Amino acid sequence: MADLIVIGAGHAGCEAALAAARMGIDTLLLTLNMDGIALMACNPVIGGSAKGHLVRELDALGGEMGLAIDDTFLQSRMLNMGKGPAVHSLRAQADKQAYQNRMRKALMTCDRLTVRQGEAASIETENGKVSAVTTATGARIPCRAAVVATGVYLQGSIIIGEHRHDGGPQGLMNASLLSASLRELGFELRRFKTGTPARVDVRTVDFDEMQEQKGDEPVVPFSFLTDRKLENTYSCYLTWTTPETHRIILDNLDRAPLYSGKIHGIGPRYCPSIEDKVVRFADKDRHQIFLEPEGKESREWYVQGMSTSMPEDVQWAMYRTIPGLRHCEFTRLGYAIEYDCIDSLELRPTLESLRIGGLFFAGQINGTSGYEEAACQGLLAGMNAALHIQGKAPVLLTRDMSYIGVLTDDLTTKGTDEPYRMMTSRAEHRLYLRQDNADLRLTEIGWQAGLATEERMERTRRKQAETEQLIRELKTTRFAPGEALNAFLRERNQPETAGSLNAEELLRRPEVAFADLTELKPEWAEASPAAREQAEISVKYAGYLEKQAHLIEQARRMEEIRLPEDIPYADIEHLRLEARQKLAKQKPVSLGAAGRIPGVNPADVAVLTVWMEKQKRMKEGAENL
């Protein structure tokens, strides 16, 4: 017996199990293979554009991924530094094996959490609620809730050229039984596809033919709890495909499973295979390729940008046309993998099933791609499964609150017909939803739910208070006229002044940073870097943030109009037939969510608004009788 059973120990399953157990729930984590816990089956990287935001948010809520990557990274970089702070994103190359060991230790040392190897065969229900999970070996384990986090393992099939075999990533077995159970429960399963490049033996790589890509200094940690100094220990390397690479691919396109009909699953548009890139971008004579390490104790290096399912002989030929790889030896071939997943429109924003109480889904089973997207869903599903068991209200993260809210809202109101990937362009409030303020936005939510620790909450309070104090001082501080002020201005190509200058007005100038102001007011140098960063962004982007706050307030008013689950959409007069069908199927939780459902237009929302007002008046009238 377990209160909660988490099926799958990938990035979603690990976060789900840890979150629930830390919230006081007796949790069983069931995995196909103990050696596959937290496996980075593709590139061993955490973060990247928009994905870094997700990891920061997960950490702010009390998740583990940020702490784990801070402990095990090889190289860290902050992306998009040439742009504004809204799109700055951390990306760190992980030591693959060390990351797995670090996450395994977190699981094995967590109170109220048991990890067990076994294949989930079916999910049992009673009175429309989860009641038990059965295993392939015949065990029946009663439970009060379950999180399905099966990744790419459901009916997984590996494809390399003409060769196909049942299996999971990197030689692990697939899960062959649970798909049938999900169908029996009423879920419509789809086939998605992803892929990975070959790995090469680093001893056969000529780095002299490539461009070295060093990490950033100083290293910015992912976790808001990481205080120690972090250091890069590895470089990555840049090279390019050649016209010869493209010729080999095009000459063998009839043997490419993607084009010969051997692959039926839908692949990720934003992470195409090399053969797909060569066909789709025929005007380009080369594509970027990055060589990235997989670990301190490993000679395997990852060839970023060369994902492929081409036949083995074609892989050898095309890789060896690339500068630096002309004499490379493979340790593993590239491959594609097809797998079963559900339609995410079957889920509530809490990631609970619409049809079965206590049944939650997280990660690639929901049609997403990426470790970070999976981990965030796992955290949210684990938190809400725990709250469900405790009889408490769920955590709802909306689009105006977090990237996680954007992710879950996109999945549960719009759905996805391809592997979903988070991007900054998906977040309409991205100037507010920055990675640097994730703790200020979300830690209290995690703390109130019982996940984020008191230490984490106290750190957030201190950061908030110090930031507010700095902003007050910026507003009230004036620098006296004189040579010191004019010298400061001349050094930054600013016009001299005969009068005093307000610190806030001075900081608004693009040529002046907060660090510069410490020359005029040295005590500000003692403020924490985090508070200084928040104060500077608040001042420099004040006008834009004010406009965004207005838009967020407008959106929030729509979100605050809650829609009961039992609304008889079919009976609402003037509501179009398509809208009735979509609304009845998806059961949106708010008027705002209803308006984002494809097929529901503004006129339908207006009709629904009028209907809601009418119901409210009728209820008030009945109460006054």
* 380 in Cβ contact with 344 (< 8 Å): no
DSSP per-residue codes, 4-22: EEEE--SHHHHHHHHHHHH
* 594 in Cβ contact with 573 (< 8 Å): no
Residue corresponding to tokens 């719009």: 414
Kindly state the DSSP code that residue 418 receives in the 8-state scheme: S
* Two structure tokens written together for 617: 């008046």
Report the 10 Å Cβ neighbour count for 534: 23
Tens-place pLDDT, residues 299-316: 999 999 999 999 999 999
* 513 in Cβ contact with 536 (< 8 Å): yes
**Percent of the chain at pLDDT exceeding 70:** 99
Identify the bridge partners of residue 94 per DSSP, sorted by sequence position: 73
- Summarize the chain as % helix, strand, coil (round to 5): 45, 20, 40
> What is the C-alpha to C-alpha distance for residues 232 and 79, in angstroms, rounded to an integer?
15
Burial class (CB in 10 A: 0-12, 13-18, 19+), 93: buried
* 191 in Cβ contact with 265 (< 8 Å): yes
Residues whose CB is less than 8 angstroms from the CB of residue 411 and which lie 6 or more positions away in sequence, other chains included: 344, 345, 347, 366, 367, 368, 420
Across 272-403, where does the E strand assignment appear?
288-293, 300-304, 330-332, 335-342, 359-361
pLDDT of 80 reads 94
Kindly state the DSSP code that residue 172 receives in the 8-state scheme: -
pLDDT of 138 reads 96
Kindly state the DSSP code that residue 572 receives in the 8-state scheme: -
Which residue type sits at 85? Answer: P
pLDDT of 236 reads 98
Return the H-helix or E-strand segment holding 556. Answer: helix 542-560
Which of these, 176, 64, 77, 73, lies nearest to 119 by C-alpha position?
176
Tens-place pLDDT, residues 368-379: 999 999 999 999
Q: Report residue 22's pLDDT band, with 50, 70 and 90 as the boundaries.
A: very high
Report the 10 Å Cβ neighbour count for 409: 22
Can you tell me whether residue 99 is helix, strand or coil?
A: helix
Q: Report residue 605's pLDDT band, with 50, 70 and 90 as the boundaries.
A: confident
Over residues 565-594, the mean pLDDT reads 89
Which of these, 53, 55, 50, 48, lies nearest to 70 by C-alpha position?
55
Q: Is the preceding peptide bond at 218 cis, omega within 30 degrees of 0?
A: yes
pLDDT of 355 reads 93
- Structural domains in the chain? 4-195+338-449 (3.50.50.60), 199-334 (2.40.30.260), 466-545 (1.10.10.1800), 561-624 (1.10.150.570)
* 460 in Cβ contact with 443 (< 8 Å): yes
620 pLDDT above the threshold of 80: no
**pTM of the predicted model, to two decimals?**
0.94
> What is the C-alpha to C-alpha distance for residues 6 and 378, in angstroms, rounded to an integer?
10
> What is the C-alpha to C-alpha distance for residues 469 and 463, in angstroms, rounded to an integer?
10
Buried b (16+ CB within 10 A) or exposed e, 415-444: bbeebbbbebebbebbbbbbbbbbbbbbbb
> What is the C-alpha to C-alpha distance for residues 273 and 276, in angstroms, rounded to an integer?
5
Tens-place pLDDT, residues 348-407: 999 999 999 999 999 999 999 999 999 999 999 999 999 999 999 999 999 999 999 999
Identify the bridge partners of residue 341 per DSSP, sorted by sequence position: 190
Residues whose CB is less than 8 angstroms from the CB of residue 93 and which lie 6 or more positions away in sequence, other chains included: 44, 45, 73, 74, 75, 76, 234, 236, 292, 293
> What is the C-alpha to C-alpha distance for residues 371 and 39, in angstroms, rounded to an integer?
10
Report the 10 Å Cβ neighbour count for 237: 20
| Termini Cα distance of the chain | 51
> What is the C-alpha to C-alpha distance for residues 217 and 250, in angstroms, rounded to an integer?
42
Over residues 203-215, the mean pLDDT reads 98
Tens-place pLDDT, residues 478-495: 999 999 999 999 999 999
Q: Report residue 625's pLDDT band, with 50, 70 and 90 as the boundaries.
A: low
* Two structure tokens written together for 570: 């079919």
Across 497-559, where does the E strand assignment appear?
501-502
115 pLDDT above the threshold of 80: yes
Tens-place pLDDT, residues 270-295: 788 999 999 999 999 999 999 999 99
Whole-angstrom CA distances from 300 to 271, 418, 501 are: 21, 30, 58
Q: In terms of residues, how long is the chain?
A: 625
* 376 in Cβ contact with 404 (< 8 Å): yes
Which of these, 192, 180, 38, lies nearest to 120 by C-alpha position?
180
